[in-house]
Amino acid sequence: MSIKAVKAANFKSFENLDIELGKFNVLIGPNASGKSNFVDIFRFLGDIASSGLYNAISMQGGVEYLRNIGIGASKDLHLRISSDREFRAIIEREGSKGPMAIKTDEIIYRFSLRFHKRGSGFKVIRDELVIKFKVVKLDRRKGKAIEGEVVEEGSIEVFHSNGKVKVSISKGGFLKKGDIFFPPFMDDVELSSDKLLLETVYFLIPFPVKEIFNDISIHDFDPKLPKKAYPITGKAELEENGENLSIVLRDILQDKEKSRRLFNLVKELLPFVEDLDVEKLADKSLLFKLRENYFTTQYIPASLISDGTINVTALITSLYFEKKSLLIIEEPERNIHPYLISKVVDIMKDTSRRKQIIVTTHNPEFVKHADLENILLAHRNEKGFSVISRVTDKKEVETFLENDIGIDELYIQNLL
């Protein structure tokens, strides 16, 4: 898994948020309940990791749109993310019997921003990275390193306060400051109050923890965009809106095994599809096309393909061919026939065994076919703040279900 839990305060429509995540998460709720703002937490963290805090705030529209409009500068913004992502390093120490593996158990990152009473200024008032780890013996059997007994448990703590960075290691003595894992330059470093540890080398040493925040894909597909020819010089990773689908498909189709897999997955949902291809146009752009079993002699260009077919193709591409560990998709059921929704949910459950998935949806069919433990409910409380909770935490829901009222019916009637 990637992200275990999220806490937030004074972030967009949230006053206080505290939610645990699973491998497959279906976020439902009325319009303007906070679903997209929840997604923005992950977008914000990814932007900090790739572009820095200052730019990440700007990408959210500035301080006034990042914090809650009702709370404003009266309270600090807090974010806390915990992850059980495993990072592993093998090391041999003088005097130890054989190699050891250092494994992360849990990674916690939290920070707080205090806003100036006037203007758009802010400063970092809390910034902390905690890496809980285990040291285990490695036994070599048949050429493989097998993990043995746990030798030591501890945590690495990195604090950024008052412009200084401090590193401490709790418990044991296997990891020490000053060794190859902790070069001397890592302690007593000055870091300005408008920067976060997430922007620095501290998220790369001793483990590449920054990967957690760089390893997020967010998609809100607009099927109108992949219908247009796309420049051949575009990104190889699928864009958030899916506009470069032709480039991504071209790369997949160049690999025989990937091409076969893509075709089989698409045909499972769209049995009329006979072939997929990408055409290179004279202006050095690419255009997606397909052939139907109704007319086997001619390909149909993307501009004439239905929105639903485009959306299904983009969905399958993101689910099975993107390498990111956390995949977030907003309203994946858009333009898809209700009959296909159960199959879409099934392939998402299948994919969630390999990567973490979060989807937002308004579709009752999606709710019907998702398992109860997968469903998160967003709503606004009497003060207008967004709240996210698990449907399984509501005892009233159990009562309704015991009386043969489906979860989808509760959702349609707004009884959740």
Q: Do 203 and 93 sit in the same domain of this protein?
A: yes
pLDDT band at 325 (very low <50, low <70, confident <90, very high): very high
H or E element in which residue 51 lies: helix 35-51
Tell me how far apart the alpha carbons of residues 82 and 108 are, in angstroms, rounded to a whole number. 4
In a domain, 297, yes or no: yes
Q: What is the pLDDT of residue 145?
A: 64
Which one of 213, 232, 251 terminates a domain?
A: 213
- Please indicate, yes or no, if residue 79 is contained in any of the structural domains: no
Q: Are residues 205 and 124 in the same domain?
A: yes
Which residue, 215, 189, 208, is CA-closest to 50? 215
Mark which of 280, 306, 323 sits at the end of a domain.
323
The total domain count for the chain is 2
- Would residue 339 count as lying in a domain? no
In 3D, which of 21, 11, 24, 18 has the Cα closest to residue 57? Answer: 11
Query: Which among 164, 172, 310, 160 is positioned nearest to 241, based on CA atoms?
Result: 310
Residue 28 forms beta bridges with which residues?
361, 377
Pair 192, 302 in one domain: no
128-145 pLDDT per residue, tens? 999 998 888 887 765 566
Residues 228 and 178 in one domain: no
200 and 110 fall within a common domain: yes
Report which of residues 173 and 110 the model is more confident about. 110
What is the domain extent for residue 127? 86-213
The arithmetic mean of pLDDT across residues 386-410, rounded, is 66
Q: Which of 28-32, 264-268, 305-309 has the lowest mean pLDDT?
A: 28-32
Query: Tens of pLDDT along 237-246?
Result: 999 999 999 9
Pick the residue with more confidence: 313 or 295?
313
- Is residue 231 domain-shared with residue 317, that is, in the same domain? yes
Q: What is the average pLDDT across 45-65? A: 94
Are residues 42 and 98 in contact, defined by beta-carbon separation less than 8 angstroms? no
**Residues 95 and 185 occupy one common structural domain:** yes
Q: Angle at the Cα of 81 (from 211 to 321), degrees rounded to 5?
A: 40
The answer, yes or no, to whether residue 178 has pLDDT greater than 80, is no
pLDDT band at 216 (very low <50, low <70, confident <90, very high): very high
How does pLDDT run across 339-375, given as a tens digit for each residue? Answer: 899 999 999 999 999 999 999 998 888 888 888 889 8
The DSSP string of 220-246 is ---TTSTTS-EETTS-SSPPTT-TTHH
* 302 plus 236 within the same structural domain: yes
Q: pLDDT band for position 18 (50/70/90)?
A: very high
Q: What mean pLDDT comes out for the span 56-81? A: 94
Instruction: Pick 2 or 96 by higher pLDDT.
Output: 2
Residues 173 and 263 in one domain: no
Distance CA 330, CA 343 (A): 17
Residue 346 resides in a domain: no
Model pLDDT, residue 186: 67
Q: Give a yes or no: residue 28 inside a domain.
A: no
User: At 164, is the pLDDT very low, low, confident or very high (cuts 50, 70, 90)?
Assistant: confident
Note whether residue 67 is domain-resident.
Answer: no
pLDDT band at 162 (very low <50, low <70, confident <90, very high): confident
pLDDT given at position 200: 83
Q: What is the pLDDT of residue 411?
A: 58
**142 and 170 belong to one structural domain:** yes
64-73, 121-130, 186-195, 273-282: segment of lowest average pLDDT = 186-195
- Mean pLDDT of all residues belonging to the chain: 87
Domain match, 224 and 167 both:
no
Supply the pTM of this predicted model. Answer: 0.90
Q: Would you place residue 81 in the very low, low, confident or very high pLDDT band (cuts 50, 70, 90)?
A: very high
Asked whether residue 169 is assigned to any structural domain, the reply reads: yes
* Any domain includes 94: yes
**Last residue within a domain, chosen from 297, 323, 349:** 323
Check whether residue 141 and residue 177 sit in a common domain: yes
The residue ranking higher by pLDDT, 167 or 35, is 35
Work out the average pLDDT over 135-163: 79
Distances (CA, A) of 326 to 36, 79, 129, 373, 405: 16, 18, 20, 18, 33
What values do phi and psi take at 3, rounded to 5? -105, 125
CB burial string 154-164: b at 16+ within 10 A, e below:
bbbbbbbeeee
